[in-house]
Each structure stands twice: as C-alpha cells, then as structure tokens.
Amino acid sequence: MPADTRMSIDGRRTYFAIMQRRYIVATKQQRGQLLDEMEAVTGLDRKTLIRLMQGDLARHPRQKQRGRVYGADVDDALRVIADSFDYPCAERLVPNLSWMATHLAQHGELHISPALLAQLDTISIPTVRRVMNRITQDERKLPRPSPSGPNAALRDVPMAIIPWNTQEPGHFEADLVHHCGAGTDRHYMHTVQLVDVATGWSERVATLGRSYSRMQEAFGRILPRLPFPIVELHPDNGSEFFNAYLLEFWAREVANAHLSRSRPFHKNDNRFVEQRTSSEVRAYFGRQRLDTPAHTLAANRVYDKLWVYYNLFQPILRLVEKTAVPREGGGFKMKLRHDDAKTPFDRVRGTGVLSQEKRDSLERLRDQTNPRKLKQEIYDLLEYTLALPCADACESDTTTHEGGKAG
C-alpha cells in the first residue's frame, strides 16, 4: 500500500471498531465479504483480521518497555550542539546535527565517531524534543523579555507586500528599532535591521539618532557587507527611511533597487523583519535606554558577532506551503508546511548568487569560527554594553531594565 494512503494506527483502530460491530451480527457469508473489504482497506492478512474481529480492540500498555536506542553519547552531543545553536527548536536542530557535530569536532568541542554521526543522521524530531526537555531541565535559562502628517517623499513609493514564497535573494524588509527606554526625549540609540525574505540573511547596525546622515552611515556600513545585491527594499512609512536625502542616497548607491513600503498601520506587511526584531534585537537588548556613543559602539561590536552567528550558524525554517483546511461547523484554518531548517548562508549558497570569491570567504570564516566560543563572546559583550551608564544618570535610574541574553 502506498505510504501516502496508509492508515494511521488510531485511524485503523477506529475503523476496526466500526467493522467489528457489523462483523459480530453478520452471517458467515457476510463476514467473508467484510473480511475482503478490510483486507483491501488496511492491507493486513486475513488471519490477523479474524483475530482482531474476535478479540479486544482496546489498546493496552506494553508489558515490557523498549530499551533506549540513543545513549549517553547522543545526549552529550545534543547538549553541546544545541548550546552552540543557542537552543533552537527540534525542527530547526535536527537537519543540522551532523554538520555541526563535525564542525565542533574540528574545534575540539566534541568527540565524534562514525556510530555517533550515524545516530545523529537518523534521530527523529520528537526524540530530539524529548531528549532536550530532559537534559536541559536543570540548566539556567537566559532571560528573553517579551517585545512589549503625510510625507511628501512617500507619494512616488508604491505600497506592496513582499510575497512569502519569494525565491530570489535580495528582497529585503527593513525596520528601525528604538532603544529609548521609558521616554523618547533627546538622542538615543536605534538599530537599523534588514532581513532577506528568500534566504533569511539579516543585517543589523546601531546608530545614535535617526537623522538622514546617521541613516546614511548605517546603510553605508551594511551595503559593502551584503553577499548579494539589493533587488528590493521594503521599509515601513517612517520618515527616517523616506526623505529627500535618503532617497537621493538610494538612487546613487543602489540605482537598480526597487523601493516599496508597507501600508500605513499594517505592521504585518513587514512580518519577517518584525519577527527578527523580537528574537534578535529585543531578546538581547531588552527595552532599556541606550543613549551614548559608548552604547552605540559596543552594540555594533555585538552586532558584528551576531552577523556571523545568525547568518552562518543559526538554522531557520522557511514556509513552503499554505493550505486552507475546512473547519467543522464552517470556516477554514491554514495548514502550514515548512522545509528543513538551514542556515541563511546555506540557503544563499543554494541559490547560486554568490561569487566564488565571496563563497570561499564565507566558508573559510565558518570553518575557522567556534560557535560556542562566539556565543560566549556575544554574551560577554552584551553584559558590558548593558552595564554602561546612560547620558543622564537619573534617567537610567527610572528606565525599565529588562535584562538581555547575557546572564
């Protein structure tokens, strides 16, 4: 029987319960016909079906539990690999176990064997989820706080949404994150963030203030670092993105890029970059006020290391299919299917847009980088950044200090 038409165990039990009621009251000839039907539907042999029809269909617990398939060496490997990835979900972790195990072994963080690699290749997502729940229950968790007049420059910029199934790299959503604490008075730090919809490649730069000159400096830092050209830039409607000076800058620096913008008051039009704001900016810096040049310089040191960590080592899931499924009683729900988790670098590499020089450079960088050491460096820099005093000591006393990822 083809795999896509095979019944699940629960579905087969329900089917047998219905057929057993018919089987008990049927004549000998009718029972033969029912057995023929069940053979065709389930693919089981006739003797097994007769035994089931004459027996108890209730499911009973095992008399003897199965032994463990994956031992302590797999537990130890998962602990080190998950720590290197900063404990992602099992769906993101499983497709990347083997290559990361090999990579960590090269840096002396893990001892591997052919048997261990074979088990990492075959272990399932539910098994990894159970193992991680068990081996991380006593570990200290890093706090992750929850994200708690017309502009003339907008007239010629069309409103649009970058499609979720875009395949071409270079379609970037952009956002500006405010690090103002409890109030928006005076200058404070901002984070300029870009996320590529097709590959998940992300860029972040801290800037003190959001004047056109500061924004131009931020994009001037991002553009040379991008491994592929910008095809489309899609911010919200903020004047920090759309003003005469910055539009002139874009026309000069990326003349072939298409500019589009979100609909007013529709934050979900920039859903990819908004999600990253929560997981890759607020999760680290929280909502406390950062308002000095020292904060900005230190934050950019954090972002430089996060650039390597998230683009080269953090696997992400990508939505590949949406299906509308009817609900009982009317209406529909969306069933989403994602592909195997891959790092943004692996996704970019698979598109063929990288030059050989850029590809070799990024591969060397990943081979030479120990992700566990890099993660610790990020936490140390983050702790240093968050401990720096604000421009006004009184202001810092009243600011909401939500700890970032640093312990």
Q: pLDDT tens digit string along 44-81?
A: 899 999 998 988 888 777 776 666 788 889 999 999 99
Q: What's the burial of 330, exposed, middle or buried (CB within 10 Å: 0-12/13-18/19+)?
A: exposed
Examine the domain organization and report whether 241 and 372 are in the same domain. Answer: yes
Examine the domain organization and report whether 204 and 311 are in the same domain. Answer: yes
Do the domain assignments include residue 302? yes
pTM of the model: 0.74
Do the domain assignments include residue 270? yes
Q: What's the burial of 262, exposed, middle or buried (CB within 10 Å: 0-12/13-18/19+)?
A: buried
Examine the domain organization and report whether 224 and 295 are in the same domain. Answer: yes
Mark which of 89, 107, 135 sits at the end of a domain.
135
Examine the domain organization and report whether 360 and 262 are in the same domain. Answer: yes
Do the domain assignments include residue 62? no
Alpha carbons 399 and 397: distance in angstroms, whole number? 6
Examine the domain organization and report whether 169 and 121 are in the same domain. Answer: no
Are the C-beta atoms of residues 206 and 190 closer than 8 Å to each other? yes
Examine the domain organization and report whether 251 and 118 are in the same domain. Answer: no
As for how many domains the chain has, the answer is 3
Dihedral sign, Cα of residue 75, residue 77, residue 80, residue 82: negative
Alpha carbons 275 and 269: distance in angstroms, whole number? 11
Do the domain assignments include residue 332? no
Are the C-beta atoms of residues 135 and 116 closer than 8 Å to each other? no
Examine the domain organization and report whether 247 and 206 are in the same domain. Answer: yes
Mark which of 100, 135, 170 sits at the end of a domain.
135
What per-residue confidence (pLDDT) applies to 140?
57
Examine the domain organization and report whether 98 and 192 are in the same domain. Answer: no
Averaging pLDDT over each range in 45-59, 141-155, 272-286, which range is the top one? 272-286
Alpha carbons 303 and 62: distance in angstroms, whole number? 52
Whether 10 has a pLDDT exceeding 60, the answer reads: yes
Whether 240 has a pLDDT exceeding 80, the answer reads: yes
147 versus 243: the higher-pLDDT residue is: 243
Examine the domain organization and report whether 88 and 117 are in the same domain. Answer: yes
Do the domain assignments include residue 330? no
Q: What is the DSSP string of 112-151?
A: --HHHHHHHHH--HHHHHHHHHHHTTTSPPPP--------
Examine the domain organization and report whether 208 and 241 are in the same domain. Answer: yes
For the residues 375-382, what does the mean pLDDT come to? 96
Mark which of 91, 107, 135 sits at the end of a domain.
135
Q: What's the burial of 178, exposed, middle or buried (CB within 10 Å: 0-12/13-18/19+)?
A: middle
Residue 238: pLDDT band (50, 70, 90) is confident
Do the domain assignments include residue 240? yes
Whether 346 has a pLDDT exceeding 70, the answer reads: yes
Dihedral sign, Cα of residue 274, residue 276, residue 277, residue 279: positive
Task: Give the pairing of strands 258-259 and 202-208.
Answer: unpaired
Examine the domain organization and report whether 80 and 166 are in the same domain. Answer: no
Residue 407: pLDDT band (50, 70, 90) is very low
Residues near 105 by Cβ (< 8 Å), separated by ≥ 6? Answer: 111, 112
Stated as kind and residue range, the H or E segment containing 190 is strand 189-196
Q: pLDDT tens digit string along 94-139?
A: 999 999 999 999 999 999 999 999 999 999 999 999 988 888 765 6
Task: Give the pairing of strands 258-259 and 171-179.
Answer: unpaired
Domain holding 350, by residue range, is 154-317+343-398
> Beta-carbon neighbour count of residue 259 at 10 Å?
19
Alpha carbons 134 and 128: distance in angstroms, whole number? 10
Do the domain assignments include residue 338? no
Quote the percentage of the chain above a pLDDT of 90: 58
Q: pLDDT tens digit string along 154-197?
A: 778 888 899 999 999 999 999 999 999 888 888 899 999 999 99
For the residues 135-152, what does the mean pLDDT come to? 56
Examine the domain organization and report whether 158 and 129 are in the same domain. Answer: no
CATH of residue 363: 3.30.420.10
Do the domain assignments include residue 141? no
Are the C-beta atoms of residues 255 and 221 closer than 8 Å to each other? no
